[in-house]
Structure 1
């Protein structure tokens, strides 16, 4: 799954009709480049690809004082369905970019749905942590470099932290923090 794809769909969905520069400006205001691989070129590529796939459609042109008019985009029904699928995948993902993109738009879903997906994500993180922990006694073996144990311990800590962080987010959502669709 592409975090950039989810981010672009989400911003267009939130601001529609909107143009590519506004999407870029919004993501820059979130400092998304620090927690994702989103780059200006990837934003415009995603807009073009999503439009070609029928997930976005053009809704005219907005005049611009800085140059040619800007094409406005809106999300189609297929784009809304894609957004929902990507949100569900990202909310259960242990990939930081994907999860971060989903957290940015979790207000687009009902609270109970978000909680169910985050509990699944927490279980996924704990399962990765447990699998890595179980591997540590086997390292270093005859063929592994001596630093393999350190790497396993690093990643075990990352996934333990992710599971704990997710637990905190679940608690905040259960306490009524954050706006959701319901």
Structure 2
């Protein structure tokens, strides 16, 4: 749910004031449903929850020729703080949904801050990779399940790939790619 909350806050932050259908349409254009759980129900649930928590404020209803009126939302100061907090968590995450959501909104932060968080994420990914490789038995052990070496190799490969991918993103950011707040 953290990725959906970040996506909803981020889209509203960029487009405010805006309505839930516009958030959904924007996320559909990113094909977010293929890499997150950002389905229509979860988007509207997040809108309700964030409003109830005081992270979003409703500004009334916009009329629509296509159906009922649409509630307009904007971030509150608490919503901005929640967005920043979720960005920091997601930029260091090894969860693909959370990290992907943070990458989508990197332009909301200063470059040095993004680089600091991504380096932390890269170190964490490398530690996980190394820990998985260290668990891999050198010789088959009859006491361990036969699939264990393959599982450890699979997961260490995933984290090796993430470590390398993050390194490439860091290099692109250092070279000036991506617009940031500074």
TM-score (norm 1): 0.97
Which ranges in structure 2 are unaligned for 5 or more consecutive residues? none
Contact persistence 1:139–1:148 (CA under 8 A): no
- CA shift, 1:82, in A, is 0.4
Q: Could you say if the C-alpha distance between residues 137 and 105 of structure 1 is closer, same or farther in structure 2, counting changes exceeding 3 Å? A: same
Cα drift, residue 60 of structure 1: 1.4
Secondary structure of 2:54's counterpart equals coil
Give structure 1 stretches of 5+ with no counterpart. Answer: none
Q: Mean Cα displacement is larger for which, 1-10 or 23-32?
A: 1-10
Q: Do structure 1's residue 54 and structure 2's residue 57 form an aligned pair? A: no
1:4-54 Cα offsets, whole Å, 9 max, x none, are 010000001010000000000000000001111110000000000000000
Name 1:134's counterpart in structure 2.
134
**TM-score between the two structures when normalised by the length of structure 2:** 0.97
| Within-5 A mapping of 1:83-98 | 83-98=83-98
- State the shift of 1:144 in Å: 3.9
The alpha-carbon deviation at position 158 of structure 1 amounts to 0.5
- State how 1:16-31 maps to structure 2 within 5 Å: 16-31=16-31
Change in Cα spacing, 1:144 to 1:45, as seen in structure 2 (3 Å) is: farther
* Equivalent in the alignment of 1:148: 148
User: Residue 130 of structure 1: CA displacement?
Assistant: 0.4
Aligned equivalents of 1:108, 1:4: Cα separation in 2: 17
Give the drift of 1:138.
Answer: 6.7
Structure 1 pair 144–57 and aligned structure 2 pair: CA distance change class (3 A): farther
What is the CA–CA distance in structure 2 between the aligned matches of 1:139 and 1:18, rounded to whole Å?
Answer: 59
Could you say which residue in structure 2 is the equivalent of 1:13? 13
Compare 140-149 and 38-47 and name the one that shifted more. Answer: 140-149
Cα distance in 1 for partners of 2:15, 2:54 equals: 18
Equivalence for 1:120:
120
Q: How many residues align?
A: 182
Sort the Cα spacing of 1:141 and 1:82 in 2 relative to 1 into closer, same or farther, 3 A.
Answer: farther
